[in-house]
Amino acid sequence: MSLFNKLGFGKKEKLHDGLEKTRSGFLEKMGKALVGKDKVDDEVLDDLEEVLITSDVGVKTTLEVIRRIEARVAKDKYLNSKELQGILQEEIAQLLKENDEERPAAFDAKLTHKPHIILVVGVNGVGKTTTIGKLAHLYKLAGKNVMLGAGDTFRAGAVEQLKIWSERAGVPIIQQGQGADPAAVAFDTVSSAKSREADVVLVDTAGRLHNRKALMDELAKIKRVMGKVVDQAPHEVLLVLDASTGQNAMQQAKAFSEVVDVTGLALTKLDGTAKGGIVIAISNEISVPVKYIGIGEKIEDLHVFDRNSFVEALFSKNH
Amino acid sequence: MFEDLSGKLEQAFKSVTGQARLSDVNVAETVREIRRALLDADVNYDVARSITAAVKEKALGQGVLASVTPGQQFTKIVYDELVSVLGDEKEDIQFASTPPTVILIAGLQGSGKTTFTAKLAKFLKSQGRNPLLAAADVYRPAAVDQLRTLGDSIEVPVYSIKEKDAVRTAKEALAEAKKNAHDTLIIDTAGRMHVDEVMMSEVAEIKSVVKPNEVLFVVDAMTGQDAVFTAREFDKQIDFNGVVLTKLDGDTRGGAAISIKSVVNKPIKFVSTGEGVDSISAFYPDRMAQRILGMGDVVSLVEKAQEQYDEVQARKLQAKISSNAFNFEDFYGQLQQIKKMGSMRDLIGMIPGMSKQLGDVEIDDDSLKPIEAMINSMTIQERRNPQLINGSRRKRIATGSGTSVREVNDLLKQFNQMKKMMKTMTKMNKMGRAMEGLKNLAGRQRLH
Ligand SMILES: Nc1nc2c(ncn2[C@@H]2O[C@H](COP(=O)(O)OP(=O)(O)OP(=O)(O)O)[C@@H](O)[C@H]2O)c(=O)[nH]1
Ligand SMILES: Nc1nc2c(ncn2[C@@H]2O[C@H](COP(=O)(O)OP(=O)(O)OP(=O)(O)O)[C@@H](O)[C@H]2O)c(=O)[nH]1
Ligand SMILES: [Mg+2]
Ligand SMILES: [Mg+2]
Q: Which of B23, B47, B109 sits opposite A2 (nearest CB)?
A: B23
Going from the Cα of A283 to the center of ligand 1, the distance in angstroms, rounded, reads: 22
Are residues B350 and B418 in contact, defined by beta-carbon separation less than 8 angstroms? yes
Higher-scoring residue by pLDDT: A110, A13: A110
The residue type found at A150 is: A
Nearest CA to CA, how far is B89 from chain A (Å)? Answer: 26
* pLDDT band, very low/low/confident/very high, at B421 (cuts 50, 70, 90): low
Going from the Cα of A185 to the center of ligand 3, the distance in angstroms, rounded, reads: 15
| Residue-wise DSSP of B411-444 | HHHHHHHHHHHHHHHHHHHHTTPPPTT-TT-SSS
Task: Give tens-digit pLDDT for B320-345.
Answer: 776 777 788 877 876 666 555 444 44
Are residues B434 and B326 in contact, defined by beta-carbon separation less than 8 angstroms? no
- Residues within 8 A of B (CB atoms), A 229-288 only: 242-249, 251, 269, 271-275, 278
Q: Is A59 on the interface with B (CB under 8 A)?
A: yes
Average the pLDDT over B345-367 and give the result: 46
| Residue-wise DSSP of A178-210 | TTS-HHHHHHHHHHHHHHTT-SEEEE------T
What is chain A's mean pLDDT, rounded? 86
How far is residue A270's CA from residue A252's CA, in Å, rounded to a whole number?
Answer: 18
Q: Which of B49, B350, B441 sits opposite A2 (nearest CB)?
A: B350
pLDDT at B6: 61
From the CA of A204, give the closest atom in ligand 1.
Answer: 20
pLDDT over threshold 70, residue B160: yes
Taking contacts as CB-CB distances below 8 angstroms, the residues of chain A near B31 are 13
* pLDDT band, very low/low/confident/very high, at B23 (cuts 50, 70, 90): low
Taking contacts as CB-CB distances below 8 angstroms, the residues of chain A near B17 are none
Q: How many domains does chain B have?
A: 3
Taking contacts as CB-CB distances below 8 angstroms, the residues of chain B near A63 are 447-448
Which phi and psi (to 5°) does residue B139 adopt? -110, -50
How far is residue B7's CA from residue A310's CA, in Å, rounded to a whole number?
Answer: 36
Q: Does the predicted TM-score (pTM) go above 0.90? A: no
Same domain, B248 and B329: no
pLDDT at B340: 55
Quote the strand ranges of chain A, DSSP E.
116-121, 146-149, 173-174, 200-203, 236-242, 264-268, 290-294, 302-304
What is the ipTM metric for this complex? 0.89
HSE-up (13 A, CA, CB side) for residue B376: 13
pLDDT over threshold 70, residue B351: no
For the domain that residue B402 is a member of, what is the CATH number? 1.10.260.30
Residue B384 covered by a domain: yes
Q: Which residues pair with B131 in a beta bridge?
A: B184
DSSP B131: E
pLDDT at A113: 95
Per-residue buried b or exposed e for A141-165, using 16+ beta carbons within 10 Å of the residue's own CB: eeebbbbbbbbbbbbbbbbbbbbbb
Residue B35 covered by a domain: yes
Residue B93 covered by a domain: no
Handedness of CA A36, A39, A43, A46 (dihedral sign): positive
Gyration radius (Cα) of chain B, Å: 30
Cβ–ligand 2 contact at B249 (below 6 Å):
yes
Q: Which three-class secondary structure state does DSSP give residue B118?
A: helix
Same domain, B74 and B108: no
Verify cis geometry, omega within 30 degrees of 0, for the bond prior to B70. Answer: no
Same domain, B301 and B315: no
pLDDT at B66: 57
CA angle A61, A26, B263 (to 5 degrees): 75
How far is residue B348's CA from residue B350's CA, in Å, rounded to a whole number?
Answer: 5
Return the H-helix or E-strand segment holding B204. helix B197-210
Which phi and psi (to 5°) does residue B133 adopt? -105, 145
Cβ–ligand 2 contact at B252 (below 6 Å):
no
Residue ranges per structural domain of chain A = 23-95, 116-314
In chain B, % of residues over pLDDT 90? 51
Going from the Cα of A129 to the center of ligand 1, the distance in angstroms, rounded, reads: 7
From the CA of A207, give the closest atom in ligand 2.
Answer: 27
Q: Are the beta carbons of B445 and A56 separated by less than 8 Å?
A: no
For the domain that residue B42 is a member of, what is the CATH number? 1.20.120.140
Residue nearest to atom 17 of ligand 1 (CA): A127
Q: Which of A10, A164, A269 sits opposite B141 (nearest CB)?
A: A164
Cβ–ligand 2 contact at A195 (below 6 Å):
no
What sections of B67-106 are H helices per DSSP?
70-86
Nearest CA to CA, how far is A209 from chain B (Å)? Answer: 6
Q: Which three-class secondary structure state does DSSP give residue B272?
A: strand
Q: Which of A11, A16, A243 sits opposite B46 (nearest CB)?
A: A16
Same domain, B317 and B261: no
pLDDT at B438: 28
How far is residue A261's CA from residue A255's CA, in Å, rounded to a whole number?
Answer: 9
Going from the Cα of A188 to the center of ligand 4, the distance in angstroms, rounded, reads: 29
Cβ–ligand 2 contact at A207 (below 6 Å):
yes
Q: Is A131 on the interface with B (CB under 8 A)?
A: no
pLDDT at B423: 67
- Strand ranges of the sheet holding B268-272, from the earlier edge strand across to the other edge: B158-159, B131-136, B184-189, B101-107, B214-220, B242-246, B268-272, B280-281
Nearest CA to CA, how far is A127 from chain B (Å)? Answer: 7
Of B255, B272, B305, the residue that ends a domain is B305
Average the pLDDT over B180-184 and give the result: 97
Gyration radius (Cα) of chain A, Å: 23
pLDDT over threshold 50, residue B360: no
CB atoms within 10 A of CB A313: 16
Higher-scoring residue by pLDDT: A82, A56: A56
Going from the Cα of A206 to the center of ligand 3, the distance in angstroms, rounded, reads: 6
Q: Are the beta carbons of B226 and A273 separated by less than 8 Å?
A: yes
| Residue-wise DSSP of B374-401 | HHHTS-HHHHH-GGG--HHHHHHHHHHH
Question: Regarding the domain delimited by A23-95, which CATH topology (the fold level of the hierarchy) does it fall under?
Answer: Four Helix Bundle (Hemerythrin (Met), subunit A) (1.20.120)
From the CA of A206, give the closest atom in ligand 1.
Answer: 23
Q: Is A42 on the interface with B (CB under 8 A)?
A: yes
Cβ–ligand 2 contact at B117 (below 6 Å):
no
pLDDT over threshold 90, residue B133: yes
Domain extent, residue B403, equals 311-430
Q: Which of B21, B224, B445 sits opposite A56 (nearest CB)?
A: B224
pLDDT over threshold 80, residue A26: no
pLDDT over threshold 90, residue B112: yes
How far is residue A48's CA from residue A28's CA, in Å, rounded to a whole number?
Answer: 12
Worst-scoring range by mean pLDDT, A162-166, B19-23, B373-377? B19-23
Give the largest CA-CA distance in chain B. 104
Same domain, B16 and B74: yes
Quote the strand ranges of B164-210, DSSP E.
184-189
pLDDT at B294: 73
How far is residue A173's CA from residue A166's CA, in Å, rounded to a whole number?
Answer: 6
Give the A:B interface size as CB pairs under 8 Å: 256
Residues with CB under 6 A from ligand 1: A 122, 124-130, 152, 155, 158, 206-207, 240, 268-269, 271, 294-297, 301; B 109-110, 140, 191, 193
The residue type found at A140 is: K
HSE-up (13 A, CA, CB side) for residue B200: 18
Residue B288 covered by a domain: no
How far is residue B105's CA from residue B246's CA, in Å, rounded to a whole number?
Answer: 13
Taking contacts as CB-CB distances below 8 angstroms, the residues of chain B near A46 are 444, 446
Same domain, B55 and B114: no
Highest-scoring range by mean pLDDT, A5-14, A25-34, B3-12, B27-36: B27-36
Task: Give tens-digit pLDDT for A62-72.
Answer: 999 989 888 88
Nearest CA to CA, how far is B305 from chain A (Å)? Answer: 15
pLDDT at B341: 45
How far is residue B341's CA from residue B346's CA, in Å, rounded to a whole number?
Answer: 9
Same domain, B124 and B257: yes
Are residues B49 and A6 in contact, defined by beta-carbon separation less than 8 angstroms? no
Cβ–ligand 2 contact at B339 (below 6 Å):
no
Residue B95 covered by a domain: no
Per-residue buried b or exposed e for B222-250, using 16+ beta carbons within 10 Å of the residue's own CB: bbbbbbbbbbbbbbebbebbbbbbbbbbb
* pLDDT band, very low/low/confident/very high, at B155 (cuts 50, 70, 90): very high
pLDDT over threshold 50, residue A185: yes
Average the pLDDT over A4-19 and give the result: 28
Residue B46 covered by a domain: yes
Higher-scoring residue by pLDDT: A300, B298: A300
* pLDDT band, very low/low/confident/very high, at B299 (cuts 50, 70, 90): low
Residue B196 covered by a domain: yes
pLDDT over threshold 60, residue B305: no
Same domain, B249 and B203: yes
Nearest CA to CA, how far is B392 from chain A (Å)? Answer: 31
Taking contacts as CB-CB distances below 8 angstroms, the residues of chain B near A9 are 24, 60, 425-426, 429, 435
- Residues within 8 A of B (CB atoms), A 144-183 only: 154-158, 160-161, 163-165, 168, 178
Q: Are the beta carbons of A42 and B446 separated by less than 8 Å?
A: yes
- For an interface test with A, give the residue of B43, B45, B226, B261 to mutate (most A CBs within 10 A): B226
**Residue among A265, A106, A136, A126 at smallest CA distance from A205:** A126
Average the pLDDT over B27-56 and give the result: 88
Task: Give tens-digit pLDDT for B215-251.
Answer: 999 999 999 999 999 999 999 999 999 999 999 999 9
Are residues B78 and B30 in contact, defined by beta-carbon separation less than 8 angstroms? no
Going from the Cα of B247 to the center of ligand 3, the distance in angstroms, rounded, reads: 15
Taking contacts as CB-CB distances below 8 angstroms, the residues of chain B near A18 are 46
Same domain, B83 and B105: no
Cα distances (Å, whole numbers) of residue A247 to A3, A280, B47, B219, B223: 39, 11, 16, 16, 8
Residues 6+ apart with CB under 8 A from B438: B24, B25, B28
pLDDT at B372: 85
How far is residue B134's CA from residue B104's CA, in Å, rounded to a whole number?
Answer: 9
Which phi and psi (to 5°) does residue B187 adopt? -105, 115
Same domain, B265 and B336: no
Distance, C-alpha A238 to centroid of its chain: 9
Are residues A173 and A166 in contact, defined by beta-carbon separation less than 8 angstroms? yes
Same domain, B245 and B350: no
Question: Regarding the domain delimited by A116-314, which CATH topology (the fold level of the hierarchy) does it fall under?
Answer: Rossmann fold (3.40.50)
Going from the Cα of B116 to the center of ligand 4, the distance in angstroms, rounded, reads: 9
How far is residue B194's CA from residue B217's CA, in Å, rounded to a whole number?
Answer: 12
Nearest CA to CA, how far is A253 from chain B (Å)? Answer: 13
Taking contacts as CB-CB distances below 8 angstroms, the residues of chain A near B317 are 7
pLDDT over threshold 50, residue B95: yes
pLDDT over threshold 80, residue B78: yes
pLDDT at B246: 98
Residue B211 CB-density burial (10 A; 0-12 exposed, 13-18 middle, 19+ buried):
exposed
pLDDT at B309: 39
Task: Give tens-digit pLDDT for A113-149.
Answer: 999 999 999 999 999 999 999 999 999 999 999 999 9
From the CA of B279, give the closest atom in ligand 2.
Answer: 31
Same domain, B233 and B177: yes
Cβ–ligand 2 contact at B112 (below 6 Å):
yes
